[in-house]
Structure 1
C-alpha cells in the first residue's frame, strides 16, 4: 500500500471574497490539482510499463529485497518531506520532488505488469478512474461536512496496514480478501474526504500568493494521486487476473 498523508496545511487566512469568486478560485485550483495528478499517474504508468519490459532492470529491482525495500523507503521519505516541508521549499524543488516520486513509484509498481494480465490491469484502471471520479465529484459538490471522517479514516488506514503486515507472515488468502475489500472502501471514502478538504487549500493562492497556491495544488495532486493508486492496487488484488 502506498503511503498516504492527510495533513493538508497550512489553513488559509480568512479573506473577504464573494461566493462566486471563491468558486472560481477553487475551480482553477482543482484544474491544476487534477492536471498534476494526471501527469503523475501517466508518468508512473509509463515507467512501470517500460521497466517491466526490461529483464535487467527487473532483476536489479526485485533480485534482492534490499534494493526494493530501499526504493520504498526513499518513496516514503519523499512523501514525508513533501507533506511536511512543501511550503518551505521553492516551487521548482516541489515540482521536481513530485515528478521524482511519480517516476520512482513507476519502478516499484512495475511488478504489477509481471503479476497481472494486461487486460485486467486496463479494466481495473478504468474501474478505479470511474470510482475515483464519482467520489471526488461527490466530495467537491456535497454540502455535507465530511471533516468528521478524518479520525475514523486515519484509524482505518493504521489498522489496514497492521493487518497487511500480519498477513505477510500468515499468508492467509481470506485475510487478504478482507483487507483488500476494506482497503477499497477506505480509499473510496478518503477520495471524497480529501477532495473536500482540498477546497480549503484552494484559497491559499489568494491569501498567500500565487506561488504558495501552486505548491498547494501539487500537495493536493499528491494526496489524490495516493488515493487513486491505493484504490487501484486494492481493486487489482480483488479482481485482477494473475499471470
Structure 2
C-alpha cells in the first residue's frame, strides 16, 4: 500500500507541520513510567514506529474475537466477530439508515436499504469465516436487482484511513499511563499534523491514541480544522475503537429471526 494518502480521504498541498490545539498538553509532563515500560513502537518521544502499532493491531484482531466501531463524517461502521461461534456481523449506516450483514454457518443474511425501504436477502457463501473475520480485502455481494453490498474488511480499514494513515500524518506525545477495562495502557495526544496532508490551511487539530502493552491500538481519533478564503471547515473527523477483544459473543439480530425463520 502506498504511503501517500488518497485524495478522497486526505487532500494534498504545501509542506510543513502544524501544531495541534491541545490545552495544557506540555504541562502534563507525560506518564510517570520508565522508558522500558512503553509499548514497542512508542517512547517518551511519541510514536517511534507506526508499523509496529499497525502490525500488532492487525495480528490481535486476526487472532481474537472483536467488537470494533469506526466512525467518520456521520457514518458508523461496526465489526463484531466471534471465533468461538464462527459468526460475523457487520453494520454500516448513519442516523437515517443501516445496512447489516450476518455470516452464520456458511450462510449470509443481509438487510439493505432500497428506495422503497429495507429488503432482505439470504444465501450460501463459498468464502470462509476467516475471510470475513480478518481479510485485507473488500467484501462484495450481488443482491436481487441492481443492488450490491461492498465493504472493506476490518484489516483493510486498520491498514488504511482508521489507523495507519492517522499515524503517518500525526505527531503524538504521551500524556498518561492509565487503566482501561482492566488493561494498563499508555495514552497519547496529537500535538501536530502534517500540512502536506491537506489542501487548505490547517488551523487546528486534536486527537488521541491509546496503546496497550502488546502495542495494540485500542483506540485512535483525529479531528482537523482547515481554513480557505476565510471559511473554516472540518477536514478530518475519524475515530476507531476496540470495544471488545478476546472471547466475544455475536447474537443473531432480531430481523434474521423475523425474516428467515
Using the size of structure 1 for normalisation, the TM-score is 0.29
Tell which structure's C-alpha radius of gyration is larger: 2
Q: Which has the higher helix share?
A: 1
**Higher relative contact order by CA 8 Å / sep ≥ 6: 1 or 2?**
1
Q: Which has the higher strand share?
A: 2
TM-score, normalising length from structure 2? 0.28
